Amino acid sequence: MEKLIITAAICGAEVTKKQNPNVPYTVEEIAREAEKCYKAGASIIHLHVRYDDGTPTQDKERFRACIEAIRERCPNVIIQPSTGGGVGMTNEERLQPVYLMPEMATLDCGTVNFGGDDIFVNTENTIIYFAEKLNEFGIKPELEVFDKGMIDAALRLNKKGYIKEPMHFNFVMGVNGGISGEPRDLIFMAESVPKNSTWTVTGIGRYQFPLATMGIIMGGNVRVGFEDNIYISKGVLANSNAELVEKVVRIAKEFGRDIATPDEAREILGIKR
Ligand code: KMH
Ligand code: ZN
């Protein structure tokens, strides 16, 4: 089995300090959390950025500041900016970090309800437009799929040449409106991607560690972090994203799965620097 790639999604666009006071907002807080996660075993930082008051933004200069601050503390970690941003942002807003030429970025593969009146919109034309931008800049996409139909959408766009192989999927499971996070759901998702692709699993809320454990056993990879879950165990808030990463490392050790360094993750994902 390949080594385990751990991604830390340290702040997202929706979770707030009201829910967990340790959610990072400022450049300094984001860089500190990223460094702690890297030291704990994360090889990828999935990055959203905020203004100091917590407002989510896709502002290119804010991304630049956060990326530089993270690079100062951990020069080799893979930084994966979000092109999803926050619900309701325009395509051009969302695409801004791509112009900083990161080695990786997300590519959301369909529209999904996010609870209440929130809809995270990704029309087919949006997906194609974003895919072409990532191709233009040589950025490795992480294909964010919130449901099985989004895998099928990605495979169709692969056939049409918009998404290149080997594909790397992120199964985001347990979002209101997306696929649930039961064991049968992960098996269904993992069996639905081509054999030459790689995948990581993101369990939302209470699904985080059960799905992480399954991902470790099945030969997939794992994402944890405050974007997806704020608890280290039932009802107990995590002090840092790094605690969540450390827990994954402990589980992986129990099952004899070694942890990938950033360079090993690049090799596994086919990222050329
Ligand atoms: N915040 C969500 C609306 C991504 O990073 O690409 C979208 C999201 C997906 O988080
Ligand atoms: Zn995200």
State the distance from the centre of ligand 2 to the C-alpha of 48, rounded, in angstroms: 6
- Residue 1 domain flag: no
Question: Which atom, in ligand 1's list, is nearest to the CA of 108?
Answer: 6
| Pairing between β-strand 104-108 and β-strand 140-145 as defined by DSSP bridges | parallel
CATH number at residue 85: 3.20.20.70
- Residue 80 domain flag: yes
Instruction: State the DSSP H helix or E strand holding residue 226, giving kind and residue range, or none if neither.
Output: none
| Contact (Cβ atoms closer than 8 angstroms) between residue 191 and residue 151 | no
Closest CA to 142 of 5, 252, 258: 5
Question: Which atom, in ligand 1's list, is nearest to the CA of 120?
Answer: 3
Q: Would you call 224 helix, strand, or coil by DSSP?
A: strand
Range of the domain at 80: 6-269
Q: Per the structure, how many domains does the chain have?
A: 1
Question: Per-residue pLDDT for the chain (273 aa), expressed as one digit of tens each?
Answer: 999 999 999 999 999 999 999 999 999 999 999 999 999 999 999 999 999 999 999 999 999 999 999 999 999 999 999 999 999 999 999 999 999 999 999 999 999 999 999 999 999 999 999 999 999 999 999 999 999 999 999 999 999 999 999 999 999 999 999 999 999 999 999 999 999 999 999 999 999 999 999 999 999 999 999 999 999 999 999 999 999 999 999 999 999 999 999 999 999 999 987
Taking the CA atoms of residue 164, residue 97, residue 7 and residue 77 in that order, the dihedral angle to the nearest 10 degrees is 100
| Contact (Cβ atoms closer than 8 angstroms) between residue 82 and residue 44 | no
State the distance from the centre of ligand 1 to the C-alpha of 161, rounded, in angstroms: 24
| Contact (Cβ atoms closer than 8 angstroms) between residue 104 and residue 79 | yes
pLDDT at 148: 98
| Contact (Cβ atoms closer than 8 angstroms) between residue 28 and residue 62 | no
Query: Which of 10, 95, 96, 120 is the best mutation target for the ligand 1 pocket, counting ligand atoms within 8 Å of the beta carbon and taking the most?
Result: 120
Query: Which of 7, 82, 117 is the best mutation target for the ligand 1 pocket, counting ligand atoms within 8 Å of the beta carbon and taking the most?
Result: 82
- Residue 18 domain flag: yes
In sequence order, what E strands does 78-187 have? 78-81, 104-108, 112-113, 119-120, 140-145, 168-173
pLDDT at 241: 98
Q: How many CB atoms lie within 10 A of CB 6?
A: 28
State the distance from the centre of ligand 1 to the C-alpha of 177, rounded, in angstroms: 14
Question: Which atom, in ligand 1's list, is nearest to the CA of 13?
Answer: 1
Protein residue whose Cα sits closest to atom 4 of ligand 1: 84
Peptide bond preceding 166 in cis form (omega within 30 of 0)? yes
**The one-letter amino acid at 159:** K
- Alpha carbons 76 and 228: distance in angstroms, whole number: 24
- Alpha carbons 147 and 82: distance in angstroms, whole number: 18
pLDDT at 168: 98
- Residue 33 domain flag: yes
State the distance from the centre of ligand 2 to the C-alpha of 81, rounded, in angstroms: 8
